[in-house]
Each structure stands twice: as structure tokens, then as C-alpha cells.
Amino acid sequence: MPEQAKISASRPTRISDPSRQAAGATPSGATDERSAAQAVRQMFDEIAPRYDLLNHVLSMNVDRLWWRRTARTFTHILSRSDARVLDLCAGTGDMSVALHAVAAKLKSNAAICALDFSHPMLQHGLAKYRARKIQPLEADALQLPLAESSTDLVVSAFGFRNLANYDAGLREIFRVLKPGGEVGILDFSEPGGLLGKLYGFYFRRVLPRIGTLISGARSAYEYLPASVHKFPAPQQMLARMEAAGFKNVSWTPYTFGIAGLYRATK
């Protein structure tokens, strides 16, 4: 698929893989949403010390381009000093840093809050947060401690896929956004064609081995390709966003569809 080809929800949805209609992330051993969330949190707690290093090694630094590109997409919001921005599932903060860089370049004082339920992940990002006056917040994305219609922009990078219930996550984002507020969900995808096959080999066979070697946590890097495979395909995700009440939904592939950005407006 060409790099800039955007998908909107108006195309018909063909659901070919029932496993992709999952309610949410299901790490191995999880039996319900509660145990799934617990397993996800435990996994990130465990890999937090090596998370940044692993991210850059495994993505060959392409992740930096993706965070920056996503942040630039929302320049029109970040340029406003009164904007309230939520980085959902912020982890060690690289998405927040990219959002802050766009705002700072425009001399905007947009308030950025970095929310995650893993204390060690936030802790490892603390130096980045403090240096930029980004507010870290330890909380669950499915129960946001934010008022209804209080936020101009919610961005989530590689985090939303880990929620135990995607529809509940979308509803919660919708609730906290102001009318006209926007959401951006950046996450991996599974490209098709020859590139998809080659990338699939790297993602399923090579990446888990390197990840396990550096982090010492085997399950986390086996969970990553499995979670991407279970995550709704773009058309299904767009349909779910519309069902949650969003409009102007679209998906823009990044780097031949290895990743992509979902956008929508409340």
C-alpha cells in the first residue's frame, strides 16, 4: 500500500480473521479482562529498565520517526497554549517528548500529561518528563481520572493495543475529549505482500529472540507479535471507532504499513 494512502471507514469491512475481533489484549495465561490487564502491567514492569534500549534496537530507530510524524500531525492543536493533551499509555515518555517538541518549537505551553499504569515505566521516563514539565500520571486507561470533555487531544503510541478491552478504551477516550477534540492511535500493523512476509519473519522469529536476549523476559517479546496479530485490522478498528461515537475516522500507514496512525474527532 502506498505510504500516504489513507483508509477511511466508508469502505466495506470484510472480517476474515475471527481472532481479530478480540475484545482486547489477551496475554497467555489471562482468563478475563482483569487478569489480562494484570499480566500486561507485570510484563511492562519487568521490561521497563531495558524498554528504551530495546525499542530503538528492535525498530532500528524508526520508532523515533513515527513518534515525530504523529506529533506533527497534531500541530494545529499543540500550537495552542491552552491545549490539554493526554499521552495515553505513555510508558517511558518518547511520544510525550515528541508532542512537547512540536509545542515548544511553536512556543506553545500546551499542557501534556503522560499516563500509564506501570509505575516502573513512568519511573524510567521521569528524567524526560521533568526536563520538559510533562506531568506523569499513574492510572488505568480504562478508568481515566479526568473529567468528561476536558481534553483537546489524546494520543497513544503502541499502548492502546495492550488494553484489555478496546471498545471500553475508545469509550473512555471519547468521554474525556472535548467536542471537536481529536484522538491519534499509533500502532503496529501487519503489512501484506512480499514485504509483509519478510517483515512477518523478522517480527515473529527474529525480534522475540533479540528481545528476550536483551530483556531476559521471554514472554514479553512473544506477546508483542501475537498482540499485533490479534489487534483489529484497520477497517475493523475504524468501524469500532465509529461505533464509539467518533467521526472523521482514518488510518494512515507508516513505513509501508508496518505501523500506522488512526485518527478521529469527537
Ligand X SMILES: C[S@@+](CC[C@H](N)C(=O)[O-])C[C@H]1O[C@@H](n2cnc3c(N)ncnc32)[C@H](O)[C@@H]1O
Residues that bind ligand X (CB under 6 A): 37, 40-41, 44, 55, 89-91, 94-95, 116-118, 121, 140-142, 157-159, 162-163
Q: Angle at Cα 115 formed by Cα 131 and Cα 58, nearest 5°?
A: 80
177 forms beta bridges with 151
Q: Give the C-alpha separation, 192 to 56, whole Å.
A: 24
| Assigned C-alpha cell, 98 | 515528541
Amino acid identity, position 33: E
Print the SS3 string covering 145-196.
Answer: CCCCCCEEEEEEECCHHHCCCHHHHHHHHHHHEEEEEEEEEEEECCCCHHHH
Closest CB to ligand X among residues 117, 174: 117
Residue 140 or 242 having the CB closest to ligand X: 140
By beta-carbon proximity to ligand X, the closer residue of 46 and 235 is 46
CA angle 43, 161, 213 (to 5 degrees): 40
The distance of closest approach from Cβ of residue 89 to ligand X in the complex, given in angstroms and rounded to an integer, is 3
Task: Give the residue with the Cβ less far from ligand X, 44 or 246.
Answer: 44
Q: What minimum distance in Å lies between the beta carbon of 107 and ligand X? A: 25
**Which residue, 10 or 31, is less far from ligand X as judged by CB?**
31
How far is the C-alpha of 249 from the C-alpha of 67, rounded, in Å? 20
The least CB distance from residue 165 to ligand X, in Å, is 9
Give me the least distance between CB of 116 and ligand X, in Å please. 4
Min CB(67)–ligand X separation in Å? 7
Distance CA 59, CA 66 (A): 10
- Nearest of 113, 117, 95 to residue 36 by alpha carbon: 117
- As measured in angstroms, the least distance from the Cβ of 159 to ligand X is 4
Identify which of residues 9 and 92 has a Cβ nearer to ligand X in the complex. 92
Which residue minimizes CB distance to ligand X?
91
